[in-house]
Amino acid sequence: MIDDWYDDETSLSEEYSIKEYDVTASPNDFNLKTLFDFVESGALVIPGFQRNYVWDIGRASKLIESILLGLPIPQIFLYEESRNRFLVIDGQQRLMSIFYFIKQRFPLKEKRVEIRRIFGEHGHIPTEVLEDDSYFRKFNLSLSRPIPGRENRFHGINYSTLGDLKLSFDMRTVRNVIIKQNLPEDDDSAVFEIFNRLNSGGVNLTPQEIRASLYHSDFYDMLFKINNDERWRRILDSAEADLHTRDVEILLRSFAMLIEGAAYKPSMVKFLNRFSSNCKQLSKDKINYLKELFYSFLESTTSLPDKIFFGSRGRFATLFFEAVFAAVASSSFSQKALIVEKLDPEKIKKVFTDKEFIEASQTDTASTSNVQARLKRAKAIMGE
C-alpha cells in the first residue's frame, strides 16, 4: 500500500546516523530597515503558517525601547535555504516585533491563528489585512513608568512619531548569523537538527513548528485547513487552534500511522520528519482524498459523547486517538473510499480499556513493538 501511494517510489528513504556536520556560520550586521525590507520582500522567510506570533504588546514594546536606548539585543540565526532565501531559525518574535512596529500595526491575540493562515497563503500579510482593525490595532509603545509618577518618555509613541530618532532606529544594526550546511547534502534530518539546536530564544520552537518550517507543502496546508474544522475542534474540546501547533501534530501522527504505520521504526521525531518529507511528493488529488477521508471520519464521530478521546486525567489521549483513526480509516484508505458508518462508542471505550493496548501505552511508547501493538489491538477491536 505504501509503495504505490507516493508519486515517487524512492521517497521512502532509509534512516541512518549522522556522525558529523560540515556547516559554515557567517556573522553579518544588518540594519533594521534592511531587515524590514528582507521580510517585506520574502527574502527572510517568517513561516507564519507554522509559527504564531506570541509576544504581547508590552514585551514587544520593551524590545523597541531597548533599540531606542542603544542597548544590545540578542543575535538572530538564519538558515540559508537557497540563494536570497533564508529561514529564520531563532529570532522570529524579535523580527516580527520590529516589522509590526515599522508597519505601526500590532496583531490582535484572538486573530493570530487566522493571521498565520493568511501569512502562509500569501507569503506576506496583505495591506488590506494589516489595515483591518478586526485583525490589528495601532502599535503605540506600551511601557511602564521607570519612576512612580513619571511617564516613560517613549510610552505612547509609534514609528511615525519617532521624530529625530527615526533615522537612528532605521540604521541600528543587529547581528545575524547565517548558517549554511555544506555536508551532508540533501539531508532533511540534519537540517532539523540544526534548527533544533540553534533555536535558543525565549520562546522556543516545538519540534512540530520546526518540522512544518522544513517540510511545508500542499499536504501541510491541508493539515492546517482541517485543523480549523468545527467537528475536529469539538473532538479536541478546544475552539481555538493551539498556538504551538500541537493539534496539527496530532493530525500528522494520525495520517502517518494510517499510511506508514506498518513500516514504523523509532524515533517518533524521525518517523514524523520522514513522513512529512514523503508527503511533499503527494499529488493534489491524493491530498484532496486524504482531506475528504478525514472529513468522513469526522462525520462518523458526530454522535459520539463529548471527550470520548480523553483520558482519566482529563487530557486528550493522542496515542489512543491516532490508533483508533488508523483502525477506522484503514479499510476505506485501502480502497480509496470514504468512511460511511457511524462509530460505535462502546468499541472505542473497549480499545481504551483493553489490557494489551494499555500495556503498550504506558512505557516506551515510541518503540516499534508498542506502536505496532496499539495499531493491531485498535484495528482488531474496531473491526469486530
Q: pLDDT digits over 262-281, tens only?
A: 999 999 999 999 999 999 99
Q: What's residue 49's pLDDT?
A: 41
Question: Grid coordinates representing 237?
Answer: 474540546
Is 213 or 54 the better-scoring residue by pLDDT?
Answer: 54
CB atoms inside a 10 Å sphere around CB 70:
8
Q: What's residue 362's pLDDT?
A: 93
Share of the chain above pLDDT 70, in %: 86
Q: What's residue 25's pLDDT?
A: 83
pLDDT tens across 289-331, in order? 999 999 999 999 999 999 999 998 899 999 999 999 999 999 9
47: pLDDT strictly greater than 70? no
* Domain boundaries, given as residue ranges, for the chain: 22-183, 207-382
pLDDT tens across 110-120, in order? 998 788 778 76
pLDDT tens across 114-160, in order? 887 787 677 788 999 999 999 999 999 999 876 666 778 999 999 99
Cα atoms in the 13 Å half-sphere on the side-chain side of 360:
22
Is 273 or 14 the better-scoring residue by pLDDT?
Answer: 273
Q: What's residue 48's pLDDT?
A: 44
Is 180 or 319 the better-scoring residue by pLDDT?
Answer: 319
With H, G, I as helix, E, B as strand and everything else as coil, classify residue 38.
Answer: helix
Is 92 or 351 the better-scoring residue by pLDDT?
Answer: 351
181: pLDDT strictly greater than 80? no
Buried-exposed string 247-285: b where 16+ CB fall within 10 A, e elsewhere:
bbbbbbbbbbbbbbbeebeeebbebbbbbbbbbbbbeee
Q: Are 181 and 82 in contact (CB under 8 A)?
A: no
163: pLDDT strictly greater than 90? yes
